[in-house]
Amino acid sequence: MDEAMDNVMDVQGLTLRFGGVTALQDVSIRVQADELVALIGPNGAGKSSFLNVLSGFYRPQQGSIHYKGRDIRGWPVHKVANAGVARTFQGTHLLGRMSVIDNILVGRYAHMKSSLAHAFAWYPFTYREEMRHREKAEEIIDFLEIEHIRHQPVGTLGYGMRKRVDLGRALAMEPQVLLLDEPMAGMNAEEKEDLARFILDVREFKKIPVVLVEHDMGVVMDVADRVVVLNFGRKIAEGTPDAVQRDPAVIAAYLGTKQ
């Protein structure tokens, strides 16, 4: 098979600087279709920066980002999102007063065609579109098993549930690739297990590649197909979870070395 076609995302030689600070230096990562890539590394290693570059929040100084064969480096955020790159955030950026279903419907925004004027006039096609989006949203609610909180304002939910809704909103975009930024930070063991299962389900059922930034090594080693390790903005290791765990450079980065 043609390798270029198989890569959903191909990042080459990425360098990102904030003034004198180099957040990422010459980082190259490939994400293949149907693959769960985990990005790990100590605090400040550049993991979130990397996701922010992929989703268009930061403009890198050097390097290329090919997404499905197109170079999306420098594209504005909404254009990247419309192209099918969805992400969740560290913490959650949901609309607290809106219900779960409305938050998920917000994720459908890129797919909505009716304008505000149409919505006021309530044309038949607006109505049909509303039905179609609602159906998609309900599908996601079913998939994530959150029927019971469908009409609850997101602000009243616990953290674990909010993260699930956050994932739901990302899924509502019908993404081609899903970027998850520390989805399990601050969760208890049970919530982590639940969410890990949904992330695996996303990959298995929706066949979407996932890039996961995560601190919890247990989760990463359980779910990832491939692990990329960053340290001080550089890629120091890449491979299967087992291989990465044994890599001396990784052990040194996490545990330190003898002087």
Partner 1 sequence: MNAQTKPDTLPQCLLHNARQRPGEVGQRHKKRGIWVEYRWSDIHARVCAIACGLLARGVGRGDTVMLISENRPEIYWVEWAALAIGARTVTLYPDSSQEELRYVAEDAEVVAIFAEDQEQVDKALPTLAACPGIRFVFYCDDGGLWDYAQPRLFSLDAMIEAGRELAQREPDRIDAEIARGRADDIALLAYTSGTTGSPKGVITTHRALLDCAERLRRAVDIAPHSEYLSYIPLSWVPEQWFGVTLGMLLPLRVNFAERPDQVQEAIRELAVHVIVLGPRQWESLAAGVFRRMIDAGWLRRRLVDWGLAAGRRVHLARLEGQPVGLAQRMVCALADRLVLAPLRDQLGLKRVRVAITGGSAMSPDVVRLFAGMGILLRNIYACSEFGLVSAHVGARYDPETVGRPLTEPTPWGGAMQWRISGEGELQLRGASGFAGYWKRPEKTAEKLDGDWYRSGDAVGRTPAGELLYYDRLEHMSTLRGGARYPKQFIEVRLRFSPYIKEVLVIGDGRHDFVTALVNIDEAVFSRWAEQRSIGFTTFADLSQRPEVVAQVAEELRTVNARLDTAARVLRFANLPKELDADEGELTRTRKLKREVIEQRYASVLRALYEGAEHFDAEIPVRYQDGRAGVLRAAMRLGTVSPQPVAAGGGAAVPTRELATTGG
- Return residues touching partner 1 (CB under 8 A): 135, 138-139, 141-143, 145, 147-148, 150, 197, 201, 204-205
Cβ pair 54, 65 in contact under 8 A = yes
Taking the complex as a whole, the smallest distance from the CB of residue 256 to partner 1 amounts, in Å, to 32
Taking the complex as a whole, the smallest distance from the CB of residue 144 to partner 1 amounts, in Å, to 10
**b/e string for 137-162 if b means 16 or more Cβ within 10 A?**
beebbebbebeebeeebbeebeebbb
Taking the complex as a whole, the smallest distance from the CB of residue 207 to partner 1 amounts, in Å, to 9
Beta carbon nearer to partner 1, 87 or 203 = 203
Taking the complex as a whole, the smallest distance from the CB of residue 177 to partner 1 amounts, in Å, to 19
Beta carbon nearer to partner 1, 6 or 201 = 201
Tell the residue number behind the tokens 């049970």, with chain if given: 190
Beta carbon nearer to partner 1, 2 or 135 = 135
Residues in the chain: 259
Beta carbon nearer to partner 1, 152 or 245 = 152
Taking the complex as a whole, the smallest distance from the CB of residue 151 to partner 1 amounts, in Å, to 9
Beta carbon nearer to partner 1, 144 or 212 = 144
Task: From 55, 52, 104, select the one nearest 83 (Cα to Cα).
Answer: 55
Taking the complex as a whole, the smallest distance from the CB of residue 33 to partner 1 amounts, in Å, to 16
Residues 111, 89: Cα–Cα separation, whole Å: 21
Beta carbon nearer to partner 1, 138 or 238 = 138
